[in-house]
Chains A and B, each alone.
Chain A
Amino acid sequence: MADDPATAVADDAREDAHEQPAEPELLYGAPVTWMRGQQVIHPSRADAKAVLKSARDDGFLMCIDIAGVDYLTFGERSSAEGSERPIVSPTAIPVDELRRRRSLPEGITPDRFEVVINLLRFADSSRLRVRVQVPADDPTFPTVTDLWFGADAMEREVFDLFGIEFTDHPDLSRILMPEDWVGHPLRKDFNSGRIPVQFKGDPSGEGS
């Protein structure tokens, strides 16, 4: 990070010519889609780290945001009659349709979780969104804190709210919820139910 952000962009963009998109559909080796004028790339989880590294070397010096999405009940509310939706019910939409509705390119299998990383390039104010599918039976993702230190808190937040583990994250702990909280509240199958007031010991010793 010693380079000045602006100049580093210009230099690296020239040098890494081999990483320039070979054909229009690929960027850093990942398929590209355009969504409302915004560029989105869809690397697989195995390639994600390499793709992100090329993106950073190509001038995306700031990791703006990391968000998790749980696609468990995607599309049910829009197809349901009323506005109420079941908290848990397995999705019954065919894969092809789901891929279309989630605006994923061909060849990417829609999985339950998605890690969405927003990157920013200062040189031309361009933004890049990286959407990576994360399967439900193995909710892990390689950490990007070694590429962008600022991803630290964001990854902790995604871990806290979605339970996606960032492997090799230096300090993966809950950040928003109490550390002894059970469950990951933004998962669609998180049962809100009735929420009792929690206490780990009433200081006066007479409560609970």
Chain B
Amino acid sequence: MAKEGGLLDEGLEGLNHNFLTGQLENLIKWARYRSVFPATFGLACCAIEMMAAGGPHYDLARFGMEVFRASPRQADLMIVAGRVSQKMAPVLRQIYDQMVEPKWVISMGVCASSGGMFNNYALVQGVDQVVPVDVYAPGCPPGPETLMHAIMTLHEKIKDGELTKRRGAGKGAGLVIEQRDGQTGGGRGLEQPVLLSRS
């Protein structure tokens, strides 16, 4: 039964349904962190665990996260699940650039975070050389629980962070991206072999 005077007479108490007030910024953040759409970007072993996290046992849907978008244009979170090879790096960057702002990146597993045990010619030693990373999930591969923890950490970050975060496009994580012109050492000051770690 609606009150006669309504809003004009009784102020906010005159409203006959629930409401809440808050800063616009907080509302936007609240809405954002509850509806993060990840892009399906499975690369290697971690992708299997990422799929397992979306599966029935771990049920990522609890966090409003189960909708994995196949198109990067519909996604705002890129979970880099697995090792990124030199051949894949440009593709990864292109997919990142296709995603709409605001966008976040989780680097899942040690291979994506630092190259992991594969300290060699073929892998990008850390995906943060190619795209800016928000959360690093450790493990080889990280279990679904670890991935969930990473996602929750990201949620916290979105909730507490700045509303508009702008990174320079193409800047990666502030690292200079070099044009590759050969690994054989010709004229690039690579004549001195750098010994990679050996056990």
Is chain B in direct contact with chain A in the complex (CB below 8 A)? Answer: yes
Q: Which residues of A contact B (CB under 8 A)?
A: 83-84, 87-88, 176-178, 181-183, 185, 190-208
B193 to A87, Cβ gap below 8 A? yes
Determine chain A's interface SS by DSSP, over half rule. Answer: loop
B121 to A185, Cβ gap below 8 A? yes
A206 to B97, Cβ gap below 8 A? no
B63 to nearest A CB, angstroms?
A: 30
Given the known interface contacts A178-B86, A197-B129, the answer about A207 and B170 at a Cβ–Cβ threshold of 8 Å is: yes
**B116 near A: Cβ within 8 Å?**
no
- Which chain B residues in 167-199 approach chain A with CB under 8 Å? 168-172, 176-185, 190, 193-196, 198-199
B169 to A204, Cβ gap below 8 A? yes
Excluding A185-B121, A206-B170, 7 further A-B contacts by CB distance (< 8 Å) are: A88-B193, A178-B86, A182-B184, A183-B182, A191-B193, A204-B169, A207-B172
A178 to B87, Cβ gap below 8 A? yes
B159 to nearest A CB, angstroms?
A: 28
**Chain B residues whose CB sits within 8 angstroms of the CB of A183 once the complex forms:** 182-184
For B, the interface residue count at a CB cutoff of 8 angstroms equals: 36
Interchain pairs with CB closer than 8 A, number: 103
CB-CB nearest 9 A-B residue pairs: A198-B180, A207-B170, A206-B170, A204-B170, A182-B182, A196-B178, A204-B169, A193-B190, A183-B184
A206 to nearest B CB, angstroms?
A: 4
**Chain B residues whose CB sits within 8 angstroms of the CB of A198 once the complex forms:** 86, 89-90, 178-180
**B107 near A: Cβ within 8 Å?**
no
- Which chain B residues in 79-129 approach chain A with CB under 8 Å? 86-87, 89-90, 93-94, 97, 120-122, 124-125, 129
Q: Which of A185, A190, A198 has the most CB of B within 10 A?
A: A198
**B147 near A: Cβ within 8 Å?**
no
A192's partner among B90, B97, B121 (CB-CB below 8 A) is: B121
A83-B89 Cα distance, complex, nearest whole Å: 33
A199-B177 Cα distance, complex, nearest whole Å: 8
**Chain A residues whose CB sits within 8 angstroms of the CB of B129 once the complex forms:** 197
